[in-house]
Structure 1
């Protein structure tokens, strides 16, 4: 399976503390209308860390139902507990997701051998395509290219990586270790274009929540060898990318969605809190400059 293009790490709307299904369905529809290439429910941006397993299963199911096979769905299903990751992956598979996003176990800091056994155990119980999620800034563990190669060799389900280090040397070494046919996806919106240049196939993006046409257009332009257009779109998104991380993701992006009227408001679950008041005018100014508002 090839994961080519821009995939949105979907923000999850809440209403009175619960998942706002109607708004979520409308948001997914808007993403597809805007030309997004794929959808990723229940990732970091979707606040899966504060969802129950039942809520994760519900969210994935809504996304798959609404997508109706028009674009692939990569469902967040990872955990630092192998047992929990197996349960979540089973739910993603039963819901009809095309792949499961599998984070490297956080906090535990497993050895490379432990990583291999973790993903082998999940695959044994719930075999489906896996996108390994490497985000050391959140997990405390960097899955190096040689360790990823160990996983890929031992677990045929591991067909892609979401590489969120922002390190282009490491990204290039992933292709060197795992081959040209391996799906290297960016998990860092700041470095999508250079990652494509070293052999990447796409991105799982935060900014595409609010600028799906720009991000999907940039990736498409790159593959159509229209580098000038790709660079122009990259430069257009650059200040918005910075704004999306003025506070912890997903605070700015969800606030932006509320400003755009795509979400009714920006509700979060603790320990995530709303955007600081002094940052709201700064965010609004960036969005207006980019033509988003």
Structure 2
């Protein structure tokens, strides 16, 4: 494994571990970071419970991402939740499930440091967003943006995914040419998450990286980490599958993991058996509507839904506000939410929260 070669091991608590955890196509969820009421200290019990719940449904975890309020966490807290997630998965017999960790910070130097810390804590892959604090300088500077991910990929002991999310980075929006160049030139880059929602961009990138010749022409540093193209929402899984993309990293995976895994599986299978396409399209419409409605409620809304469904969720860290009770009631009763809750209960074999 590339991590071991650099003195890091992606095993339990950073200890040497022979398990290989490939990065494969599918559904990933940016796991919320849970906090205790009053103190806002980490609620590790809820984190462990939720990571295992998602993984058993077939959804793999991304720790300390946007949904995980990474910006509100110290380095030591990020390390703590990575370790807790690895412990929980291993303890549940899910040693093969990889962990992606968010390691984007303000500077290239600190991001590299955090990549190393994440690897030592048990992360298998990292995902990096460019800070929007100096977006006025960076947004139009292709050379600087390319240098950012190139250097991080070169110095990270574990493979790195690019996180393109203009809404969380001051409008910085990488185009398909730059992402494709990075994929070709940086062998330790393992993919991109497109939370820009640009299906045309996704299609153009897949035209290069999903071509059968790509892996032989531009082999990855770690053979377990091919370059994946992942959407940032659940509302275009079917069309993205037909463009040869590889799934999604989506907050909806926290609320409806069985539904999204089923949708992804149908999207893949329908390419060989067109008779499955109508059911894939039906589930896609339900997921798209739910994603559209729930995303508008942001982190606090997702946490409130988890509280309603599973008995844990809590509040975001300040200064993020909690969702107002009346607003949540309207969210819960919204037909888009009720539709996906119904499907999720059917697929998970449960008739009630």
TM-score category (smaller protein): over 0.9
2:177 corresponds to 1:127: no
Give, in whole Å, the separation in 2 of the partners of 1:47 and 1:261.
Answer: 20
1:241 to 265, 288, 291: 291
Distance 1:86 1:240, change over 3 A: same
Name 2:183's counterpart in structure 1.
152
1:198 to 217, 221, 243: 243
1:60 to 82, 85, 88: 82
SS of equivalent residue, structure 2 residue 236: helix
2:124 corresponds to 1:106: no
Give, in whole Å, the separation in 2 of the partners of 1:282 and 1:115.
Answer: 41
Deviation at 1:30, TM superposition (A): 1.2
Name 2:203's counterpart in structure 1.
172
Deviation at 1:275, TM superposition (A): 0.7
Give, in whole Å, the separation in 1 of the partners of 2:106 and 2:242.
Answer: 32
Runs (5+) with no aligned partner, structure 1 = none
SS of equivalent residue, structure 1 residue 260: helix
Distance 1:178 1:108, change over 3 A: farther
Query: What is the count of residue pairs matched by the alignment?
Result: 290
SS of equivalent residue, structure 2 residue 29: strand
Name 1:42's counterpart in structure 2.
64
Q: Deviations over 1:130-169 (max 9, x none)?
A: 1101111221111111111222233211120001111111
Name 1:272's counterpart in structure 2.
320
Q: TM-score, normalised by structure 2?
A: 0.77
SS of equivalent residue, structure 1 residue 283: helix
Contact in 1 for aligned 2:29/2:62 (Cα 8 Å):
yes
1:21 to 39, 44, 52: 44
Name 1:80's counterpart in structure 2.
106
Larger radius of gyration: 2
Between 226-235 and 194-203, the greater mean CA deviation after superposition = 226-235
Deviation at 1:4, TM superposition (A): 0.8
2:302 to 247, 253, 270: 253
Name 2:17's counterpart in structure 1.
none
Runs (5+) with no aligned partner, structure 2 = 1-21, 215-226, 271-275, 346-352
Give, in whole Å, the separation in 1 of the partners of 2:296 and 2:280.
Answer: 25
SS of equivalent residue, structure 2 residue 310: coil
**Superposition RMSD on alpha carbons, in Å?**
1.8
Give, in whole Å, the separation in 1 of the partners of 2:188 and 2:202.
Answer: 20
Q: Deviations over 1:200-227 (max 9, x none)?
A: 1111011110100001111111112232
Distance 1:262 1:194, change over 3 A: farther
Give, in whole Å, the separation in 2 of the partners of 1:107 and 1:175.
Answer: 30
